[in-house]
Amino acid sequence: MEEAKAKQIVESLREELNKYNYEYYVLDKPSVSDYEYDQKMQELIKLETEFPSLMTPDSPTQRVGGEPIDAFKKVQHDVPMLSLGNAFNEEDLKDFDRRVREGLGVDSITYVCELKIDGLAVSLRYEKGVFVQGATRGDGQIGEDITNNLKTIRSIPLRIDQSDTIEVRGEAFMPQRSFVKLNEEKEANGEEAFANPRNAAAGSLRQLDPKIAAKRSLDIFLYAVGRWEAGSLTSHSDRLTYLQKLGFKTNPEWRKCNGIEEVIEYVNSWVEKRPNLSYDIDGIVVKVDQLDYQEALGFTAKSPRWAIAYKFPAEEVITKLLDIELSVGRTGVVTPTALLEPVKVAGTTVQRASLHNEDLIREKDIRINDTVVIKKAGDIIPEVVRVVVENRTGKEEPFYMPSECPACGSELVRLEGEVALRCINPSCSAQLKEGLTHYVSRNAMNIDGLGEKVIEQLFDEKLIDKISDLYKLDKEELLKLDRMGEKSVDNLLAAIEASKDNSLERLLFGLGIRYVGSKAARTLAENFETMENLINASYEDYVAVNEIGEKMAESIVRYFEEEPVKELIAELETLGLNMEYKGPRKADQPTDSIFMGKTVVLTGKLEVLNRQEAKEKIEALGGKVTGSVSKKTDLLIAGEEAGSKLTKAQELNIEIWNEQQLREALEE
């Protein structure tokens, strides 16, 4: 066959296959059988193999054509991919409507409501009609190039009828049937299952081998335009219609609403209909429809003023409370935990829920064998909401906290002003294990390779029972333990040795002094500079330090008065641990720093810096990092998926930065 004739056939086959793809994956109305589709695909593959010059990036054969890569390249978004502010109830929606109307000086607004798909935000860039680049949202400014993985999503067209450069945005997700199938395969292979479809979708799109992503049967809904050089439409609803006309898959459930009351009606209807969908949603996105209104309202540093995301109330489910288990923390607090009949809540299977303390159990009248309602607080932490009293049969048993520690048998006490029962035996095995786990944790001594299970194994084998024992571990003894090969043992011993050089505040936090968190440890180390100065300081010396209160000062004095503590610190010093503060002194801080004297709050997920690194860098430049937003807050740094702190900062008109702005300020 001549190449000219082959080119004609190839172009015809591509047109047909693109049409079949659109019918099957976007319209869900296939017009040909799978067999006929496969036959045409094989014919196209054969011709492109025979005539390589006819191969193009937008051919249907190239959806899984990419080779595995070593790492994803960074992509700078031309137009930032901002996140949305959140609304949690009708009042929040009405406040949003009020702000919009006041900002525009109008009496009523037309909104567009769309289902908030629980997936991964991505952008798709087309040049001269060809899909050339796909990227993750990242921190809103910089994402990752996942073009080859996105090509494997059949509902994404590789070519569109649009000659202008256009960037469209949407949510890639994993349908529930694909999620179930994937987890069945993982479990059959003895692998850990994904917690929920969102994690599965994100994990699939970040695979370095596109062939893995191709097997995951992902889908996408497009909902916005980021860049469009020749865009002439005047409303968001018109854009949605146009995206569909171009061949993009948009969610069919969107609706125009005249005024906030219609918005609330739409939201409430989906609270009921949500379980009937074949994909997960976690809320409703509400946008001002007119594009000139959107432009007039503008943006904050983090989110548009013309859109908001209504988050559904936490899902509540019913299950049975089978038993109550007790655990002892590093400070001796005994915490009850409900053991539940496994039940799926907000995408994950839950078998345990915290009961906090005895007073809560009494207040909610929680009994063993009760039918209970549970939810995930903040869609993360399982908790018992209430008992279904009408389901009681008489076989339910009241629960009483023990008088003795479940780990060591010592008498439990309730200290004045506390609701928790506490074991005060300093040799309690459970406390020692928890204390050691805390000591090696990331924000303390940061000893990589010493997780909770390894600590427990070392403790049970009597290789350690106090902190100083970590620095006496013998390689030959470690090699005898389960799952401890020579390389892992060498790495572990190297990490332990490296921890000796940590600055004083890490050791101070790792010791687990009551009321002394990582921030207070940093403050103490910065002000007293050496462990010797801390040990010799008086109560008056401590309370003279800004941010050190009376309760904390009393606790520190009591701690350093204990003879075993003095012996431990002396032993650690003999073993070579650093006992001095290595961070910047206050006298060394630049007086012209943009953070000097400012109160800063970090919220959401940071992509490049982790939260601790950002905190340390800001404090080194004279800033004060706190955990909550108030009128005293000067600046909020909002990472991905920022929540209520961002909303509160917006309400208080507090300056808001994204991570990119933070990094630029730190570099300056």
The catalytic site residues sit at: 116
Please tell me whether residue 535 adopts helix, strand or coil conformation: helix
What is the token pair recorded at 54? 């006819």
- Alpha-carbon gap, residue 509 to 515, rounded angstroms: 10
- The DSSP secondary-structure symbol of 54 reads G
Please say whether the beta carbons of 545 and 523 come within 8 A. yes
Q: Which of 136, 169, 140, 139 is nearest to 81 (CA)?
A: 140
- Alpha-carbon gap, residue 181 to 578, rounded angstroms: 52
- Please measure the distance between the N-terminal and C-terminal CA atoms of the chain and give it in whole angstroms: 64
Which amino acid is it at 262? E
Most distant pair of Cα atoms in the chain: their distance: 95
Q: Which of 54, 34, 57 is nearest to 44 (CA)?
A: 54
Question: Does an H or E element contain 283, and which?
Answer: strand 281-288
Please say whether the beta carbons of 117 and 281 come within 8 A. yes
Angle (CA) 203-206-209 rounded to 5° is 110
- Alpha-carbon gap, residue 344 to 231, rounded angstroms: 45
Sign of CA dihedral 36, 39, 41, 47: negative
- 3-state per-residue secondary structure call for 486-517: HHHHHHHHHHHHHHHHCCHHHHHHHCCCCCCC
- Alpha-carbon gap, residue 645 to 455, rounded angstroms: 36
Pairing of strands 307-311, 85-87: parallel
- The DSSP secondary-structure symbol of 24 reads I
- Alpha-carbon gap, residue 568 to 559, rounded angstroms: 12
Which amino acid is it at 503? S
Please say whether the beta carbons of 614 and 621 come within 8 A. no
**Across the strands, what pairs with 352?**
339
Question: Does an H or E element contain 260, and which?
Answer: helix 260-273
Q: What is the secondary structure of 286-299 as a DSSP string?
A: EEESBHHHHHHH-B
| Helical axes 197-205 vs 176-188, angle rounded to 10° | 80
Q: Which of 222, 296, 275 is nearest to 25 (CA)?
A: 222
Alpha helices, H only, 500-610? 504-510, 518-528, 531-536, 539-543, 550-561, 563-574
- Alpha-carbon gap, residue 330 to 286, rounded angstroms: 46
User: What residues contact residue 641 under an 8 Å CB cut-off, 6+ apart?
Assistant: 83, 604, 605
Which amino acid is it at 476? E
